[in-house]
């Protein structure tokens, strides 16, 4: 299926997700305010880390391997069984750990002593989250875009209903409970949809770990673990710096701005995951890789630039419509944040090549360096320029990252040309 067709089909799911996100933004703005936004942001980062540690680190590897071994079903089954068993073991270990450190996490991360229950709920949800993530990864690798779109739509609807109701009834605590259980609840709809696939049976998913499959997934596990120990942690450190220097509300303004970026970038990022990563796994020559990168750039950059300009022009309307008067100070973040969004998406087109080509060492090094530099730049610029400094750091850091990744991908294509010429 072509990039345009996948984008249009995926756009349906994205529109539903965007609509649900807009509704939730308003609900959260009314019932938790800027301070609550900051706490939710910290908890979302914790959920991201724990979900990845519970097996999500190998999800991209499952997608790539499933697509790469399209003509070897036995190999695919070995990958699936190994990933499922590994994820369940990891999620159970993470769940038990959460039961012991929930009180400490509540104090340190959420700046609240009365929220430890949400970490216990998160621990109980982790095994279901892990299985759901892997089922989605398998669907993606098999290029079952219709099923993937349906699963995303149902998941979005469940998310807005559960989060909206719990936030309305219980305020900030209800919102945190929803974020803890929503990914686990989504497994119900995913299972129903997957059960209709003739190519997938329960027996294909359960069995002993396969050593060659584990080795194949280990590289993606390393990359996933690196991302989960750098990106969300860097966001936590930045929010914590904002809280201690500018107050909890300032961290909430940044989190709200980050949410806006996430909503409009969803169309592009979801398309890259659905189309681009499996496609990269199939490419064998440098010329083909270069052509694919150019094709994706021609689609991605115009969409992101138009989206960013539109949001900048409508920024006052967006704040009043999606949030409340309490969020007006976030207005100063729009310019640099939107510039950073365009640059980030430009760099991500090349960064996906590292995953698709399994450039493990390069990926690990760049993730660590540029997550660390984002934290340092944010701390420095916030101290100098105030709240706007965090968005300035975001744009500048991704600009440097884009240049660095371009050089690395260019070198990878040279090596591909050399190997092809000597094959």
Residue 373 · residue 397 · CB < 8 Å: yes
- How far apart (Å, rounded) are the C-alpha atoms in residues 327 and 259? 13
For 261, 268, 338, 345, 369, the CA distances from 302, given in Å and listed in that order, are 16, 11, 14, 11, 29
423 residues of the chain, pLDDT tens digit each: 555 566 666 667 777 877 888 888 888 888 888 888 888 888 888 887 777 766 666 777 787 777 777 667 777 778 878 888 888 888 888 888 888 888 888 887 787 777 888 888 888 888 888 888 888 888 877 777 777 777 778 888 888 888 989 999 999 899 999 988 887 777 777 777 777 777 666 666 776 777 777 776 776 667 667 777 788 889 889 999 999 999 889 999 999 998 888 887 876 777 676 667 667 767 777 788 888 888 888 888 888 899 899 999 999 998 988 888 889 999 999 999 999 999 999 998 888 887 766 667 787 888 889 999 999 999 999 999 999 999 999 999 999 999 998 988 888 778 777 665 655
Nearest Cα residue to 246 out of 39, 388, 149, 130: 388
Total domains in the chain come to: 1
pTM, 2 dp: 0.78
Residue 398 · residue 340 · CB < 8 Å: yes
* Secondary structure of 116-165 in HEC code, one letter for each residue: HHHHHHHHHHHHHHHHHHHHHHHHHHCCCHHHHHHHHHHHHHHHHHHHHH
Q: Is 295 left (phi over 0), alpha (psi -120 to 50) or beta?
A: alpha
Alpha helices in 195-210 (DSSP H): none
Query: What pLDDT score does 377 carry?
Result: 96
Query: What pLDDT score does 336 carry?
Result: 95
Give the gyration radius of the chain's Cα atoms.
21
Nearest Cα residue to 138 out of 207, 185, 188, 82: 82
Residue 244 CB neighbour total at 10 angstroms: 10
DSSP secondary structure code for residue 274 in this structure: I
Query: What pLDDT score does 384 carry?
Result: 94
Q: Which two tokens stand for residue 340?
A: 């950073």
Query: What pLDDT score does 278 carry?
Result: 67
Nearest Cα residue to 238 out of 113, 332, 246, 399: 246
Residue 202 · residue 77 · CB < 8 Å: no
Residue count of the chain, please give it: 423
Residue 418 CB neighbour total at 10 angstroms: 11
Residue 88 CB neighbour total at 10 angstroms: 18
Residue 313 structural domain: 3-421
DSSP secondary structure code for residue 285 in this structure: S
Query: 3-class SS at 323?
Result: coil
Give the DSSP per-residue string, 197-232: -TT--GGGT-S---HHHHHHHHHHHHHHHHHHHHHH
- How far apart (Å, rounded) are the C-alpha atoms in residues 305 and 312? 11
Most distant CA pair in the chain: distance in Å? 66
Query: What pLDDT score does 284 carry?
Result: 73
Query: What pLDDT score does 54 carry?
Result: 66
- How far apart (Å, rounded) are the C-alpha atoms in residues 225 and 220? 8
Residue 367 · residue 406 · CB < 8 Å: no
């Amino acid at each position: 299926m072509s990039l345009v067709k996948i984008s249009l089909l995926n756009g349906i799911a994205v529109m539903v997700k965007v609509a649900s996100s807009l509704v939730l933004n308003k609900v959260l703005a009314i019932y938790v305010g800027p301070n609550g936004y900051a706490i939710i942001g910290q908890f979302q980062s914790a959920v991201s880390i724990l979900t990845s540690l519970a097996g999500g680190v190998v999800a991209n590897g499952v997608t790539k391997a499933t697509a790469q071994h399209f003509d070897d079903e036995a190999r695919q089954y070995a990958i699936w069984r190994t990933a499922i068993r590994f994820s369940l073991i990891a999620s159970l270990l993470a769940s038990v750990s959460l039961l012991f450190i929930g009180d400490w996490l509540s104090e340190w991360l959420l700046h609240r002593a009365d929220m430890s229950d949400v970490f216990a709920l998160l621990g109980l949800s982790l095994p279901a989250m892990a299985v759901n993530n892997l089922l989605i990864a398998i669907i993606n690798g098999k290029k079952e875009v219709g099923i993937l779109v349906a699963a995303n739509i149902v998941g979005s609807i469940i998310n807005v209903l559960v989060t909206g109701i719990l936030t309305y009834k219980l305020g900030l605590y209800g919102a945190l409970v929803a974020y803890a259980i929503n990914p686990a609840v989504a497994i119900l709809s995913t299972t129903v949809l997957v059960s209709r696939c003739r190519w997938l049976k329960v027996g294909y998913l359960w069995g002993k770990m396969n050593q060659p499959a584990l080795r194949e997934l280990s590289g993606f596990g390393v990359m996933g673990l690196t991302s989960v120990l750098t990106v969300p942690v860097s966001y936590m450190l930045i929010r914590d710096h904002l809280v201690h220097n500018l107050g909890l509300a300032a961290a909430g303004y940044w989190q709200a701005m980050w949410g806006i970026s996430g909503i409009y970038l969803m169309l592009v990022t979801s398309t890259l995951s659905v189309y681009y990563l499996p496609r990269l796994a199939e490419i064998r020559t440098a010329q083909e890789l270069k052509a694919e990168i150019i094709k994706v750039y021609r689609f991605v950059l115009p969409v992101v630039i138009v989206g960013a300009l539109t949001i900048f022009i409508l920024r006052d309307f967006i704040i009043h419509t999606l949030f409340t008067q309490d969020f007006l100070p976030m207005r100063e973040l729009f310019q640099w944040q939107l510039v950073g969004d365009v640059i980030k998406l430009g760099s991500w087109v090349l960064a996906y090549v590292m995953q698709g080509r399994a450039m493990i060492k390069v990926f690990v090094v760049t993730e660590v360096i540029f997550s660390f530099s984002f934290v340092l730049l944010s701390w420095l610029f916030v101290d100098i320029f105030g709240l706007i400094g965090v968005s300035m750091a975001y744009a500048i850091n991704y600009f440097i990252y884009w240049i660095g990744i371009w050089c690395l991908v260019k070198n990878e294509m040279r090596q591909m040309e050399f190997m092809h010429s000597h094959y």
